[in-house]
């Protein structure tokens, strides 16, 4: 397993006047008896004291605020995975119950075929308790063998499954099938095997000796005693499979809607790479901006390269844009609570295809010595500028904390995430607000991966000691941002497909067994003139009736349970009628086929053969 942090270095303060913004996460252990609220109050007092000192020293606006976010570390680690794990656990539980319902149906059929054997044993003196104990022992052995087989399959597929779901799990350490896993799995297999074999065992042991020992009474006796329980099992597993299918349908629709969101920029044929400059070699903003400009000039000379740009925090990048709680609009006297900043080069907007709504883009004239300027997006203009007209207005930010920035342009919104509405964003010229870390974006004529080696070589030609990393296309970055949704959708979809298959197999098995028990009856009805179509409808309806009840119960249960998926859905309501209707129709068609195949086989039986069946 790859370790995320291989090297630890001391955290040092940035050079004064560099404009570098740092967001620091501090981890602390609370003293015994100290609660979260008490710790938050102490930290707020410290933060306010530091803020007042910073305002006095750096002449910041008095409306600037410093925000302390305090939360339990365990919640920070697991907040994005807890729901996924609970979802997987619930899906596995439903699938286990569906499989157990099928096993119970098989045991009922097996018990029915052994009625004569059991009745003979009861006649010669065997007690019912002993019969039940024997049947339960047989079921436990079958469940144990099934559990061992499942563990063998899990051992071989474990690494593949972990690799598949790892994007959804935090701090995923080595997972081994140890004694605890072995014991839990085998115990669960045996307990579920025994639980779902109790009713079939008691059903098989309580037989009427006089009826069973009579010739031709086998089918009638079994049909009366086992029909209700069989139907209940079919209804139950159909309802469970419906819940899984509805959940899978909602996640699928949500994923498709998320993937189809317009991000506000063109991600096709763009190669992204990140460079973290060594602070000791590039200590000043001028040196950092100079390095980036040399890299851009070298890459522009490559054949097939259409545009090159740089940004401190590009969309879909591996760095979150800086949250700037200290952006103030002139004349308003209040800070912008959720604005984000990004330092970009002049060609950034053209390279990403972000259209200009008002004013102008940055130019090469917007250097460090030129008047400080900024570009805002339409979200910022709509919220914080009168009538959405920002041109000529001024803002102040802790990025350029000693002077006002004049807004020279307004651009369209570019999303940082497909799942969230775009936040107000402020763009600054990289030469005026440079950072020691930067992302270079290269638009190419074809597949950008073909230029990866050449681009890396051009960076090395500027300074081989500043190697780029995370070379990926924006398309790949966008796909990776959707990985958690894709994993949830595929896993729940796989469980739902297995549930549908198991439920259909259960329906097929019950109808098929019923047909075999009713062969003599069907032969008599057809001899007396019954039409094959009538017999077919009768047999199909007998099996389909339980499935329809299960579908109805499953829809009602889904209305209550799918609310659990609310936070995992995007653009889809948990009660989406399209998904409910579509899933119901799919299940109805599958259930009809499961009933139709054995029913059609029954109508093809020769009446004379059927009459001699028993």
Alpha carbon 403 to its chain centroid, in Å, reads 45
Better-scored residue on pLDDT, 526 or 306:
306
Predicted local distance difference test score (pLDDT) of residue 349: 93
Mean pLDDT of 466-475: 88
pLDDT of residue 146: 86
- Please report which confidence band the pLDDT of residue 218 belongs to, taking 50, 70 and 90 as the band edges: very low
- The residue-averaged pLDDT of 447-460 equals 91
Distance CA 172, CA 25 (A): 21
Domain ranges, ordered by start, for the chain: 36-70, 82-260+483-611, 278-465
Return the pLDDT at 442.
93
pLDDT tens figures, 578-608: 999 999 999 999 989 888 888 887 777 666 6
Determine the pLDDT at residue 29: 83
The pLDDT of residue 58 = 53
- Helix (H, G, I), strand (E, B), or coil: what is residue 599? helix
* Res. 528: pLDDT tops 60: yes
- The pLDDT value recorded for residue 612 is 58
Query: 115-160, pLDDT tens digit by residue?
Result: 677 777 777 777 778 878 888 888 888 888 888 888 888 877 777 7
The pTM score is: 0.77
Which segment, 178-182, 459-463, 532-536, is predicted with the most confidence on average? 459-463
Please tell me which of 51-55, 438-442, 604-608 the model is most confident about, judged by mean pLDDT: 438-442
Tell which residue, 152, 155, 151, has the closest CA to residue 187: 151
How deeply is 216 buried, as exposed, middle or buried, from its count of CB atoms within 10 A (0-12, 13-18, 19+)?
exposed
Mean pLDDT of 503-518: 81
pLDDT band at 610 (very low <50, low <70, confident <90, very high): low
Give the pLDDT confidence score for residue 321 in this predicted structure: 45
19, pLDDT greater than 50: no
Confidence band for 1, pLDDT divided at 50, 70 and 90: very low
The count of other CB atoms within 10 Å of the CB of residue 75 is 9
Question: What's the mean pLDDT when you consider all of the chain?
Answer: 79
Distance CA 254, CA 578 (A): 13
- Whether residue 185 is predicted with pLDDT greater than 50 in this model: the reply is yes
Q: At what angle do helices 532-561 and 483-517 cross, to 10 degrees?
A: 150
Which residues make beta-bridge pairs with 472? 272
> In terms of pLDDT, which residue wins out, 124 or 496?
496
SS3 35: coil
Segment 231-262, tens digit of pLDDT: 888 899 999 999 999 999 999 999 888 888 88
Contacts of 44 by beta carbon, 8 Å cutoff, 6+ apart:
68
The segment with the largest mean pLDDT, out of 128-142, 278-292, 446-460, 506-520, is 446-460
Report, as an integer, the average pLDDT of 358-362. Answer: 91
Give the pLDDT band (50/70/90) at residue 385. confident
Give the other-Cβ count within 10 Å of 543's Cβ.
25
More confident residue, 372 or 127: 372
> If you average pLDDT over each of 58-72, 392-406, 480-494, 600-614, which comes out highest?
480-494
| Alpha carbon of residue 175 to chain centroid | 21
Mean pLDDT of 5-25: 57
Percentage of the chain modeled with pLDDT above 90: 18
* pLDDT score recorded for residue 85: 78
State residue 144's pLDDT score: 86
Band (pLDDT 50/70/90 cuts) for residue 611 is low
pLDDT tens string 543-554: 888 889 999 999
Output the CA–CA distances (angstroms, integers) from residue 437 to 6, 166, 282, 467, in the order listed. Answer: 20, 28, 11, 12
CA–CA separation, 478 vs 153, rounded Å? 34
Across residues 403-426, what is the average pLDDT? 84
**In terms of Cα–Cα distance, which of 335, 332, 334 is closest to 324?**
335
Say whether pLDDT at 392 is over 90.
no
Q: What confidence score (pLDDT) does residue 219 get?
A: 45
The pLDDT of residue 375 = 92
Q: Please report the pLDDT score of residue 267 as a whole number.
A: 86
More confident residue, 360 or 184: 360
For 69-73, 229-233, 263-267, which range has the lowest pLDDT when averaged over its residues? 69-73
For residue 216, pLDDT beyond 70: no
């Amino acid at each position: 397993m790859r370790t995320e942090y291989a090297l630890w270095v001391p955290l040092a303060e940035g050079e004064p006047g560099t404009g570098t913004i740092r967001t620091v996460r501090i981890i602390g252990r609370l003293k015994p008896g100290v609660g979260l609220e008490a710790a938050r109050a102490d930290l707020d007092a410290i933060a306010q004291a530091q803020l007042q000192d910073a305002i006095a020293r750096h002449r910041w606006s008095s409306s600037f605020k410093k925000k302390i976010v305090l939360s339990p570390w365990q919640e920070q680690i697991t907040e994005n995975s807890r729901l996924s794990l609970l979802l997987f656990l619930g899906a596995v539980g439903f699938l286990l119950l569906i499989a157990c319902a099928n096993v119970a149906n098989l045991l009922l059929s097996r018990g029915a075929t052994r009625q004569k054997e059991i009745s003979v044993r009861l006649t010669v003196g065997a007690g019912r308790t002993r019969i039940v104990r024997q049947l339960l022992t047989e079921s436990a052995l079958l469940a144990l063998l099934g559990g061992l087989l499942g563990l063998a399959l899990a051992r071989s597929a474990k690494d593949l499954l972990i690799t598949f779901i790892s994007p959804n799990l935090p701090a995923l350490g080595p997972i081994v099938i140890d004694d605890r896993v072995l014991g839990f799995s085998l115990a669960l297999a045996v307990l579920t095997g025994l639980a779902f074999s109790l009713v079939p065992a008691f059903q098989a042991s309580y037989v009427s000796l006089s009826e069973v020992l009579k010739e031709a009474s086998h089918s009638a006796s079994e049909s009366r005693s086992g029909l209700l329980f069989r139907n209940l099992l079919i209804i139950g597993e159909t309802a469970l499979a419906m819940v899984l299918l509805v959940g899978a349908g909602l996640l699928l629709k949500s994923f498709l809607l998320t993937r189809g969101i317009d991000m506000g920029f063109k991600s096709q044929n763009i190669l992204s790479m990140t460079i973290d400059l060594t602070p000791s070699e590039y200590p000043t903003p001028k040196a950092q901006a100079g390095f980036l400009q040399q890299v851009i000039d070298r890459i522009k000379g490559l054949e097939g390269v259409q545009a090159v740009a740089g940004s401190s925090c590009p969309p879909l990048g591996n760095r979150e844009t800086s949250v700037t709680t200290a952006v103030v609009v002139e004349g308003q006297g209040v800070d912008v609570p959720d604005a984000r900043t990004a330092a970009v080069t002049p060609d950034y907007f053209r390279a990403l295809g972000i259209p200009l709504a008002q004013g102008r883009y940055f130019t090469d004239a917007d250097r460090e010595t030129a008047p400080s300027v900024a570009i805002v997006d339409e979200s910022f203009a709509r919220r914080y500028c009168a009538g959405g007209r920002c041109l000529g207005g001024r803002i102040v930010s802790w990025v350029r904390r000693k002077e006002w920035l004049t807004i020279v342009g307004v651009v369209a919104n570019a999303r940082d995430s497909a799942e969230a509405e775009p936040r107000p964003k402020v763009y600054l010229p990289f030469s005026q607000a440079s950072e020691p870390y930067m992302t270079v974006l290269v638009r190419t004529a074809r597949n950008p991966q073909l230029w990866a080696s050449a681009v890396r070589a051009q960076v090395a030609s500027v300074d081989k000691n500043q190697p780029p990393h995370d070379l990926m296309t924006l398309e790949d970055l966008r796909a990776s941002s959707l990985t958690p949704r894709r994993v949830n959708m595929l896993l729940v979809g796989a469980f739902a497909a297995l549930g549908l298959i198991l439920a259909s197999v259960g329906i097929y098995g019950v109808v098929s067994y019923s047909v075999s028990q009713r062969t003599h009856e069907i032969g008599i009805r057809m001899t007396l003139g019954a039409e094959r179509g009538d017999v077919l409808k009768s047999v199909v309806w007998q099996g389909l009736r339980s499935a329809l009840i299960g579908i109805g119960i499953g829809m009602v249960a889904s209305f209550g349970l799918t609310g659990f998926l609310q936070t995992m859905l995007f653009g889809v309501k948990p009660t989406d009628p399209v998904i409910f209707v579509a899933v119901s129709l799919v299940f109805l068609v599958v259930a009809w086929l499961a009933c139709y195949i054995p029913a059609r086989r029954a109508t093809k039986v020769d009446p004379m053969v059927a009459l001699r069946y028993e």
